Structure 1
Amino acid sequence: MFETPFGKIGIVICFDRHMPESIRTCALRGAAWSSCRRRASVPNTDAEPSKPFLWKIRVQAMQNQVAIVMCNRVGKEGDVTFAGQSVVVDPYGNVVSKADDQEQLIIADIDLTQTAAARKQRPFLELRRPEWYD
């Protein structure tokens, strides 16, 4: 977690983005938004199709009411092909901006007041009952 002039930011790196606890932990620690760095995809892009990947990010944003900024590089390094597809998703799960598989810079405005508004509308984090999950 990092305190910034814009609010708390949670950082999730690479494979951890697959684990629901990674984004959830950022949200529970007060993150207004979370940043994921997607390091690599396997050379066969069918191994992680773009649509299911995007839905995972969108669902995590909505369930945790946190904006997610996920960046990924493009090109090849050795046997690894980097898929690009960087994306910005708001706390409601809506895609704000999305890159393709080419090198590019995407710029998006993130309304951090949406985090508090989304959490008030759907208090998923407050209604959790982790003591019942074992």
Structure 2
Amino acid sequence: MRASLIQLGVDPAEPVDARRARAAALVREQRGSDLVVLPELWTVGAFAYESFAPGAEPLDGPTATAMAQAARDAGVWLHAGSIVERTAPADAPAADGSPLYNTSLVFSPSGERAAAYRKIHRFGFDKGEAVLMDAGTEPVTVRLPEITAGLATCYDLRFPELFRALVDEGAQLFVVPAGWPARRREHWTLLARARALENQSYVLACGTAGTHAGVEQAGHSIVVDPWGEVLAEAGAGEEVLTVDLDPDRVAAIREDFPALKDRVLRS
């Protein structure tokens, strides 16, 4: 199974329509991969809070439309990163007070939406995303042809109970789009490895390059195997990271070192 992580650069000077077109072109260039991943909130910038409401879209909005077409053109499963989801009708005012969500979208190679995940853990400590967006409530998995993927987003990476719940739903691989700040890059790599190791699952963590509202992004997208070993890691700039994964390795490691069978505390 071949996975490609597109560590997209987010430049506030680039019009969002141009970035959508550029992201779609990058997805199309990954023909031959099985799974392609984009970062969190790449249309608006994860820290550009003032852009959340005006940049919000419905689940069938312009980003979803462009990404569905790109997935179909490339013939890939596409985790399109996340958007600011707007739940109000399309003709409602942008600032009408209706809930906003940080929502990840997954498309099949035919361009059908296969999953949507509303981020459960919102970052900000009573400001920013934590007050501007509502929280999701349900873990989400999606069955790919060779493996079951569990969906998480950025700050979720700090909450291991979510990943345990995804394992209980059959996840063998976690896809984690993010807009992670450079000043906490060591946390990013450490947590990605921890979530892989403790759950004996692959982790595909895809970050952004550039600067969002003055916050430098970590980049360093990373792929970790079920033994906790780093298979590939990007640098800080815009980059496409492509890695071949062995879906059978998850079952082999879980059988050879069956730590998950010894769990005692469960929800």
Normalised by the shorter chain, which TM-score bucket?
A: 0.7 to 0.9
* 2:74 corresponds to: none
* 2:199 corresponds to: 64
**Aligned-pair CA distance for 1:80:** 2.3
Letter matched to residue 94 of structure 1? E
3-state DSSP class of the match of 2:171?
coil
After alignment, is 116-125 or 100-109 more displaced? 116-125
Q: Deviations over 1:77-123 (max 9, x none)?
A: 22222210100000000001100101000000111111101111222
1:108 matched to 2:243 = yes
3-state DSSP class of the match of 2:259?
coil
**Kept after mapping to 2: 8 A contact 1:32/1:67:** yes
* 1:117 corresponds to: 252
Structure label with greater radius of gyration? 2
State the identity %: 28
**Kept after mapping to 1: 8 A contact 2:180/2:188:** no
1:8 matched to 2:182 = no
Q: Deviations over 1:10-66 (max 9, x none)?
A: 01011111111122222221112111111232xxx33x1x33431221122111000
Measure, in 1, the Cα distance between the counterparts of 2:254 and 2:194: 14
**Kept after mapping to 1: 8 A contact 2:157/2:195:** no
3-state DSSP class of the match of 2:239?
coil
3-state DSSP class of the match of 2:244?
coil
Q: 1:52 to 1:82 in 2, by over 3 A?
A: closer
Q: How does 1:1-134 map to 2 (within 5 A)?
A: 1-41=141-181, 45-46=182-183, 48=184, 50-130=185-265
After alignment, is 119-128 or 87-96 more displaced? 119-128
3-state DSSP class of the match of 1:126?
helix
**Kept after mapping to 2: 8 A contact 1:28/1:125:** no
Measure, in 2, the Cα distance between the counterparts of 1:95 and 1:29: 24
Kindly report structure 1 stretches of 4+ aligned residues shifted beyond 4 Å.
none
Q: Structure 2, unaligned stretches of length 5 or more?
A: 1-140
Letter matched to residue 232 of structure 2? S
* 2:35 corresponds to: none
Output the aligned Cα RMSD. 1.6
TM-score (norm: length of structure 1): 0.87
**Kept after mapping to 2: 8 A contact 1:12/1:37:** yes
**Kept after mapping to 2: 8 A contact 1:40/1:80:** no
Measure, in 2, the Cα distance between the counterparts of 1:25 and 1:38: 20
3-state DSSP class of the match of 1:105?
strand
